[in-house]
Chains A and B, each alone.
Chain A
Amino acid sequence: MTAIAEHGPGLAAGSAVTMAGALNQALSDALSEDDSVLVFGEDVGTLGGVFRITDGLANSFGPTRVFDTPLSESGIVGTAIGMAMNGLRPVVEMQFDAFAYPAFEQITSHLAKLRNRTRGRVELPIVVRIPYGGGIGGVEHHCDSSEAYYTHTPGLRVVTPGTPADAYVLLRQAISSPDPVIFLEPKRRYWSKEMVSDHGGVAMDRALVRRPGTDVTLIAYGGALATALEAAEAAAEDGRSAEVIDLRSLSPFDDETVTASVKRTGRAIVVHEASRFCGYGAEVAARLSEQCFHYLEAPILRVAGFDIPYPPPSLEEYHLPSVDRILDAIDALQWQETAALVKVAG
């Protein structure tokens, strides 16, 4: 996997950047460095995308490299597959999470499988960018957390940045990847700002410890990362030291980093916006019980969205995992039982 160091010019260290700006810069740098990179989708040309992620790119790189397509998500992904078969590296945009579903067949039956079907002869280095998740007051069909549909599909890599600087790094890595990548952009964090600092050459498929801690591991990604960090800060005031892991790569899953943390802390909570039932957290919890059972002091908990269709804007605050809900989950991790056992043993 390509390290960040190989991707210049990158973001200027010490400057403040939004996630939208970082993604734009990553696309721009990739287009500059590699003639085979193309950016296309709905409204990504003249308009610069409904979230302005592709702002200015059509002007800078011309209509052959950056262009609007007719309105068909299946058409966008299907033609990207043909282009990649002919040596190009398409980076395509699905306008919103739920609007990507018409492309589902092309993604699951072809994008994910063509390498395997042809014994590695056909490589599809395609990035499908999908703004996902809620928290922006979006009306129905604009706020889905669709990650589990993709992580359940072998052959795809699925990544999601939690911070602006990492959005740059991950997108560059995704574009360089020889495998198809579903790149999920937490749209509620598009306009969050961050001072850029180098986190070293971490590979695309590795998780990062965003905040070290000793008592409990909070496992989060994408839009929920900031919430988990906030909860960790609040927990510290209560005297509980929470370690926060940013998964970055949802598929493959970085067992090594996550299990190392949970073996140290003995407690784990997975936080995500998506519905709980068969959600991504279920896989994380299952893997941790398989690999860390004897280190666990309490059941692994999930703080997730309810098992409901994404609610209308006026009600979404009740649905999204909040700092309080994470703190409540931390409180529920059988601290008294452990303390009692320690006392008995002592």
Chain B
Amino acid sequence: MTIPMTPELLLPPANPITLVDAAGRAVPGDGLGLPGDDVLATLYRMMVLGRRFDTQATALTKQGRLAVYPSARGQEACQIGSILALRPQDWLFPTYRDSMAVTARGVDPVQVLTLLRGDWHSGYDPYQHRVAPQCTPLATNTLHAVGLARAASIKGEDTVALVMLGDGATSEGDTHAALNFAAVWKTPVVFLIQNNGYAISVPLAKQTAAPSLAHKGIGYGIPATVVDGNDAAAVYAVVRRAVTSAAAGAGPVLIEALTYRVEAHTNADDATRYRSEEEVVGWRARDPVKRLREHLRDRGLLDEAAIATVDAEAEAQAAVLRQRMTADTRHDPDDLFRYVYAEPTPELRRQQRELAAELGRAQGGRGAR
């Protein structure tokens, strides 16, 4: 299945694709069927686990166990729906706000939090789960995704790269370059814009004059779509279709998911300075987890016992994370010099000895000088 490319079809639909509406009812959506019951159940379970991970991480900042944490609360449908739509051989290029997605991909949560705990810049092996290091400089990861997918095509591998970016990142030059390179090269990349309304404090209206971010696709010759980013079923189906199309050789796909960052930018941010409580309350009512729960419950696919089981699993997982994050980590100053080059240069070895001598003196006290 590939996505056709006539100019009209490159334009996004007038309304975001929804498969389960805010009240939890199934609705028809752009020819996409509702995912199977087992997929829906997994989406629900993973969202509950993801949200609990997210609240636990925020709590860890308050206990001083994390230096900072950018919450993705409210964006669970994007974080989980997209990850479940990937195949094992695909790659994920996440940003700093996508810790939930990275854990959903299978990366150990403690390794995910290494960056935010301040222990190292990236704590996991990108090749183990095919997840690139979480990217802090905006939009730069879009080009890495295009390059990796291009290399996959050259080598004849069946690999799609999914890159996540926010609404603010669409203003960066690298987003433009990446969309253009991907389209010209017909690279198997899926661009997922999580439009959560704000780039820290700056609302979308100050970010773009485009009718939608998805409309940017047509300028590059990339088919684009808009999806209800709080509908996990729709995000899953839309990303799945995009991955299938890209894997079939039809080139990149651009997806704009409309969602909302319920928490502040990070624990260090004060969101009351730039948005109203009414707005937040309105979005809380469109909660993606609650929506899928209602849907599954109405269809008899989830009962109170099953809900309690998932909640208990999430609690247990959070407890383990809490406990593991309480353990103090050991830091080796020699690591500072170890990974700069394949082999440390003579100058780096000298500086390493310099630091070791300094630390030796410090241990010996002042008299050791």
Contacts and interface: CB of A to CB of B under 8 A. Distances in A.
Contact of B181 (A70, A121, A179, A253): A70
B181 A75 contact: yes
Given A69-B181, A75-B180, A78-B143, A120 B173 contact: no
A109 interface: yes
B275 interface: no
A122 B181 contact: no
Given A86-B151, A86-B152, A79 B341 contact: no
Contacts of A105: 137, 140, 174
B145 interface: yes
Contact of B339 (A72, A110, A119, A255): A119
| Main SS at interface, chain B | helix
Interface string B135-173: 001001011111111111011000101000000000001
B148 to A, nearest CB: 4
Interface string A242-255: 00000000001101
Given A82-B150, A121-B125, A155 B340 contact: yes
Contacts of A253: 347
A69 B182 CA distance: 11
A75 B137 contact: no
A78 B346 CA distance: 29
A154 interface: yes
Nearest to B137: A109
Given A70-B184, A87-B155, A116-B121, A80 B177 contact: no
A332 B145 CA distance: 56
Interface stretch (B4-12, B79-87, B126-134, B226-234): B126-134
A118 interface: yes
A154 B341 CA distance: 9
Interface residues of A, number: 46
Contact of B177 (A74, A88, A116, A154): A74
B122 interface: yes
Interface centre among A84, A109, A116, A177 (most CB of B within 10 A): A116
B174 A80 contact: no
B299 interface: no
B146 A79 contact: yes
A249 to B, nearest CB: 10
Contacts of A177: 342
Nearest to A253: B347
Given A70-B180, A72-B181, A252-B345, A78 B125 contact: no
Interface of A: 38, 64, 69-70, 72, 74-75, 77-88, 102, 105-106, 109-110, 113-123, 154-155, 157, 177-179, 205, 252-253, 255-256
Minimum-distance CB pairs A-B, first 10: A82-B147, A78-B143, A79-B147, A75-B177, A86-B151, A82-B148, A117-B121, A178-B342, A252-B345, A82-B144
